[in-house]
Structure 1
Amino acid sequence: VPEKGLLAEKCAHGSLEDPKSVAHHKLLHAASERVLSDARTILEENIQDQDVLLLIQKRAPSPLPRMADVSAEEKKKQEEKAPDRDAIFQATAALPSYNMDRAEVQTNVRDFQTELRKILVSLIEVAQKLLALNPDAVELFKKANAMLDEEEDGRVDEAALRQLTEMGFPESRATKALRLNRMSVPQAMEWLIEHAEDPTIDSPLPGQASPGGAEAAPDAASEAAGPSTQDEEPPDELTEIFKKIRRRREFRADARAVMSLMEMGFDEKEVMDALRVNNNQQNAACEWLLGDRKPSPEELDQGIDPNSPLFQAILDNPVVQLGLTNPKTLLAFEDMLDNPLNSTQWMNDPETGPVMLQISRTFQTLNRT
């Protein structure tokens, strides 16, 4: 095959002197449209008499860039690169300064989740004042509060309680430990061992009557419902209900997270504050303890400035105004304060979702401006 190529080269170019010239061409069998291999013979390629072979010039490969071209290209890239801060200061060092007395623009962007808690605290206060004027809302919250009481009284897991009592723990203490640790037997057992010498271990949880006073509770309730309380104004009744709901959702730290963080050397009060700020999430609490400890525990119950443009814009929204008169909105706000992860659930609710959407939109609009 190479010999045929040389002969074809001779016919085409009239010279066999340059043996490299054959490397720039290839032979093609016209009938089968296949390229003949230089490593094979005519017989191996099954070439017959009268077959037509085409001599075709190979496509020249692109030349490799020279070092000078590479250097020039890199230099061009460096010239087109945007200047950094130091380069700008160096280039403008000799220029006079203007507008140096202009106030610096605040560039930090507030986080919605951080501000949402403050907004909810302030909106809860407004909603309480509005709902206190509605007698139907008072009755509704009374029923809801009674249902929550019944739910708390009957939610102890009997199997878990039996495990603890069989270990020798008193039933009242075991019940309290299970309620504090969300029916987790291992965590309840750790809590009982840890608080065995605590003088307040036998005291009832907030909102629950002690075992000895269970029979006296109905009489006390009937006395409270006497003529003196019938003359009370609805705002007072509603305030007491709100206080009871708040007592029910008092923070309860995860016993295991408390022990783990205290083993790292942190003080118990610091650990409790960290877990409260970070909703019992151990890793986030650890980062809070090791960081700047923002927000502080005191800031959790602080509302937004009532005279701020953001809060005024939220209150001026008609959807928010209408939602604040709905008792379900107030319950949603209270639940989101206690369980921030439930915000998505309330955003999808047909009654509370539009209110939350308007709060978010108002915040985003004012935050950009």
Structure 2
Amino acid sequence: MFVQEEKIFAGKVLKVHVCTMEGTEWLEEVTEDTTIEKLKEKCLKHYVHGSLEDPKTLTHHKLIHAATERILTESKTVAEENLKDKDCLLLIKKRPPQAPPKMADISSEEKKQENKAPDKDAILKATANLSTCNTERAVTQHNIKDFQTELRKILVSLIEVAQKLLALNPDAVELFKKANAMLDEDEEDRVDETALQQLTEMGFPESRAVKALRLNHMSVTQAMEWLIEHVDDPMVDTPLPGQDTPGVAAAAAPAPAPAPAPSATASGDRARLSSQASLEEAKQDELTEIFKRIRRKREFRPDSQAVIALMEMGFDEKEVIDALRVNNNQQDAACEWLLGDRKPTPEDLDKGIDTSSPLFQAILENPVVQLGLTNPKTLLAFEDMLENPLNSTQWMNDPETGPVMLQISRIFQTLNRT
């Protein structure tokens, strides 16, 4: 029997696992004396299904040993590359070399550099010898005002108008007594029951929780922080000013003037005029007292703990109280105000809007606002929002004061846009 020489002296047959980047896998049988180039050719024939029409296909691929991540040298044999049975090889396409830039691309880039806009220094250097002109030209600035900032000024002026309108009403005293009674009722009903329940469930006494909520505008988080900070404060259970203040007693009405005798008409007229003057004076005094009481109930009460903390930083007591008033008792914001430009100032809080401005005139000419200004509850709402801006939402949702606030907001937005 005749056996070919190469079969007798052939090396050991290995089975290697070949993979491609496209996910194709197969087993390739190869002897130890086979060169890597021959192995790659066999792999490519399998990969392209037996056809190597493009001669570049062979040179554009390479074999990589997966375990060691090294590229196999094509002139070496399988044994020289130390391949083992069941090793895994990767057949991948070589990355083409980067093409050199074309002359057209180079010239285009040079033109871009030449056409590049000059920087500020180059402009100043080129225009240094030119004379200046139009230096006093006015630049138009569009100042979009913030509604919340302007609302306070609007409220200050509207409160003055509402007080004057209500004072002219023949039933002014009764109206303001109702407003005062509404104020007392509002103070009692102001506490949010859900917020109060959350604090009492945490173990805080109800009276302290009520005080904390009123001081912190019904915010549970801020009220809880206040209660924790003041747990050792001996004044923590002291009621807020105005809560236990008795109501203003109604002024005693002067006795009616006696009917004039027919023989004393002149003296009777004088007595009647004197009686009316006394009555008007009594009404004004009573209105003044009611106004004072409303103002006293809305009086700013600084957080004692925040006052102490800020004074310990070296600030004067008056400065600290002003800072807390401007920033609604928020200690961090008050500290930033004290360290900054201190805007707005406490005096700015009491300034009203320009009564001759188109905005204020448009507000006063609105029928809904005019009708609302004759309602003492509107005055109460304005006073409350002036001292507690966070309560604006409550009055916006009120059926009596909500339409007035809506009209003010609409007028402001319309004029601000134009």
Within a 5 Å distance, the mapping from 1:251-262 to structure 2 comes to 251-262=300-311
Give the 3 Å change call, closer, same or farther, for CA 231–76 of structure 1 in structure 2: farther
SS at match of 1:333: helix
How does the TM-score come out when normalised to structure 1? 0.61
Which residues of 2 match residues 285-296 of structure 1 at below 5 A?
285-296=334-345
- Aligned partner of 2:254 among 189, 206, 227: 227
Match of 2:174 in 1: 139
**One-letter amino acid of the counterpart of residue 277, structure 1:** V
Q: Which residue of 2 aligns with 1:190?
A: 233
The amino acid across from 2:279 in the alignment is D
Contact 1:329 1:352 in 2 (8 A): yes
Compared CA separation, residues 127 and 110, structure 1 to 2 (3 A): same
1:115 aligns with 2:150: yes
| Higher helix content, 1 or 2 | 1
Deviation at 1:70, TM superposition (A): 11
User: How far apart are the structure 2 equivalents of 1:354 and 1:87?
Assistant: 60
Percent of aligned pairs sharing the same letter: 63
**In structure 1, what is the Cα distance between the partners aligned to 2:297 and 2:182?**
13
Report the Cα distance in structure 2 between the residues aligned to 1:334 and 1:95, rounded to whole angstroms: 60
What value does the CA root-mean-square deviation take over the aligned residues?
4.9
Classify the secondary structure of the residue corresponding to 1:190.
coil
CA contact 1:277–1:300 (8 Å) conserved in 2: yes
Amino acid at match of 2:363: I
Q: CA 1:257/1:99 → structure 2, altered by over 3 Å: closer, same or farther?
A: same
Q: Give the direction of change, closer, same or farther, for the CA distance of 1:123–1:292 in structure 2 (3 Å limit).
A: same
Post-superposition offset of 1:105? 2.8
CA contact (8 A) 1:347 1:357 kept: yes
Which one has the largest radius of gyration? 2
How far did residue 326 of structure 1 move?
A: 2.3
Q: How does 1:14-53 map to 2 (within 5 A)?
A: 19-20=58-59
Give runs of ≥4 in structure 1 deviating > 6 Å.
Answer: 58-73, 75-81, 83-96, 150-155, 177-183
From the superposition, tell whether residues 114 and 76 of structure 1 become closer, same or farther in structure 2 (CA, over 3 Å).
Answer: farther
Summarize deviations over 1:83-140 as a string: whole Å, max 9, x none.
Answer: 9987877787677665444434344433322221111000011111112223455423
**Letter in structure 2 aligned against 1:187:** H
Q: Which residue of 2 aligns with 1:164?
A: none
- Counterpart position of 2:291: 242
Give the Cα–Cα distance (whole angstroms) in 1 for the partners of residues 352 and 315 of structure 2.
29
Against the structure 1 CA distance between its residues 93 and 187, is the aligned structure 2 distance closer, same or farther, given a 3 Å change threshold?
Answer: same
Deviation, 1:237, is: 3.6
Q: CA deviation at 1:66?
A: 7.4
Q: From the superposition, tell whether residues 62 and 109 of structure 1 become closer, same or farther in structure 2 (CA, over 3 Å).
A: farther
1:232 partner SS: helix
Contact 1:133–1:235 (Cα < 8 Å) also in 2: no
Change (3 A) 1:185 1:283: closer
SS in 2 for 1:243: helix
Query: Where does residue 351 of structure 1 map in the other structure?
Result: 400
Given that residues 181 and 255 in structure 1 are in contact (C-alpha distance below 8 angstroms), is that contact kept between their aligned partners in structure 2? no
Residue 5 of structure 1, CA deviation: 4.3
Provide the rounded CA distance (Å) in 2 between the counterparts of 1:360 and 1:78.
56
**SS of equivalent residue, structure 2 residue 354:** coil
Cα–Cα, structure 1 residues 21 and 335, in superposed 2: closer, same or farther, change >3 Å? Answer: same
8 Å CA contact retained: 1:254, 1:280: yes
Question: Does 1:333 pair with 2:375?
Answer: no
SS of corresponding position for 2:51:
helix
- How far residue 281 of structure 1 moved from its aligned partner, in angstroms, is 0.8
Equivalent runs, 1:172-187 vs 2, <5 Å: 187=230
Q: For 2:394 and 2:107, how far apart are their aligned partners in 1?
A: 60
Unaligned runs of 5+ in 2: 1-42, 63-85, 87-91, 191-199, 201-207, 217-222, 256-276
Q: Deviations over 1:57-90 (max 9, x none)?
A: x9999997978979988x9799899x99878777
User: Structure 1 residues 365 and 7 mapped into 2: Cα distance closer, same or farther (>3 Å)?
Assistant: closer
**Equivalent of 1:130 in 157, 162, 165:** 165
* Distance in 2 of aligned mates of 1:87 and 1:9: 65
Relative distance call for 1:362 and 1:93 in structure 2 (3 A) is farther
Q: Residues 3 and 186 of structure 1: is their aligned pair in 2 closer, same or farther, counting only changes over 3 Å? A: closer
The verdict on how the C-alpha distance between 1:186 and 1:21 changes in structure 2, with shifts beyond 3 A counting, is closer
* Alignment CA distance shift 1:61-1:190 (3 Å): same
Number of residue-to-residue matches in the alignment: 296
Using a 3 Å threshold, how does the CA distance of structure 1 residues 67 and 249 change in structure 2: closer, same or farther?
Answer: farther
Q: Whole-Å Cα distance in 2 between the matches of residues 316 and 331 of structure 1?
A: 21
- TM-aligned CA deviation for residue 321 of structure 1: 2.1
What corresponds to 1:32 in structure 2?
Answer: none
Counterpart residue type for residue 348 of structure 1: N
Question: CA, structure 1 residues 333+67, in 2 after alignment: closer, same or farther (shift >3 Å)?
Answer: farther
The 5 A counterparts of 1:62-211 are: 99-136=134-171, 138-146=173-181, 148=183, 187=230, 190=233, 192=235, 205=241
Which residue pairs with 2:34 in the alignment? Answer: none
- Aligned partners of 2:368 and 2:125: how far apart in 1? 54
Does the CA contact (< 8 Å) of 1:191 and 1:255 recur in 2?
no
- In the TM superposition, residue 354 of structure 1 has moved relative to its aligned partner by 2.7
